[in-house]
Chain A
Amino acid sequence: MTHAAHSHDLQRCRELVAQLNDYLDGELPADLCAELEHHLADCPDCQVVLDTLGQTVRILHHLDEAPPPALPADLEARLLARLRAG
């Protein structure tokens, strides 16, 4: 799928991509937010990029909630031996 499917100026989309992160983190100034939201309402591709970028960030935030793999046994044994040696 290509971005050219829409009538938007690709350069404009690229400029706005640079602001998506600040927008997601709530750090984009209000006037730029309004401008971005105006563009998003009319550009499905940029809307998808924003949504999926937000999902990417949420996946990263939850990455360490699942239990990590157990420590390899030899590595654990070396660590315990090191700690017991003082």
Chain B
Amino acid sequence: MPGPTIDLSIYADEAALLAALRRHDPDACTCLVKRFAPLVYARALRLTGDPDEAESVLQSTFIKVCDALPGFDGASSLGTWIYRIATNEGLMVLRRRKPQIALDDVADNLHPEEVPHQFQAWSHDPQRLALDGELRAQIERAIAALPEQLRVVVLLRDVEGLSTEETAAQLGISPGAVKVRLHRARLRLREALADYLAARSEEHA
């Protein structure tokens, strides 16, 4: 069954959307979901790597959002607030899983996947490339292939924009461990993107 179709522009203004949500206007709830659920789900899917768990994160996030709306003080934007709740819900799902085998956090001891093998320059503007569908698919695949403990750190730090200290607090690890895992994750992603981007820069040379 296709989802309801509504005119999203009716609550283009965040204050108007909040007011409508607080008076339990059903269209406002649909509008909230249409506007914020796609990114909540995309991030939950990246974090968990599992569609069922991602849907569970999506549902619990919006239930919490609706419950907490009366107390939302508008100190951050609605989106920032919702995505923060979603991150917490996603991390809770990960914590409920079986414990992972501990990573070796010794910085000098890079795994073979992390030792640079590609030394060819990329010549494209990365900001433009972020909008390139094929590159997005490449990076999403590379993120999905990371071990969970590296994936979570790079998602929180580089994609969701948390600080080293915030990431450490969320994961219950030291800031030093965050830095080491971030470095290892970035090196693996660089290596995974290198084949694709170095080939493209040759094409466009």
> B: which residues have CB within 8 A of A?
1-4, 26, 29-30, 33-34, 37-39, 41-43, 55, 58-59, 62-63, 66, 107-108, 110, 115-116, 118-122, 126-127, 129-131, 135-136, 139, 154, 158-161, 179, 182-183, 186-187, 189-190, 193-194, 197
Contacts and interface: CB of A to CB of B under 8 A. Distances in A.
Interface in A31-75: 44-45, 48-49, 51-53, 55-71, 73-75
B38 A82 contact: no
A60 B154 CA distance: 9
B59 A82 contact: yes
A66 B136 contact: yes
Contacts of A56: 186, 189-190, 193
Contacts of A52: 118, 121-122, 190, 193-194, 197
Contacts of A62: 126-127, 130
Interface of A: 1, 3, 14-15, 17-18, 20-22, 27, 44-45, 48-49, 51-53, 55-71, 73-80, 82-84
B107 A83 contact: no
Contacts, number: 137
Name the prevailing secondary structure of the B interface residues: helix
B44 to A, nearest CB: 11
B136 A21 contact: no
Nearest to B157: A60
A68 to B, nearest CB: 4
B38 A67 contact: yes
Given A18-B110, A52-B190, A79-B33, A64 B39 contact: yes
Given A68-B38, A69-B38, A22 B179 contact: yes
Nearest to A82: B59
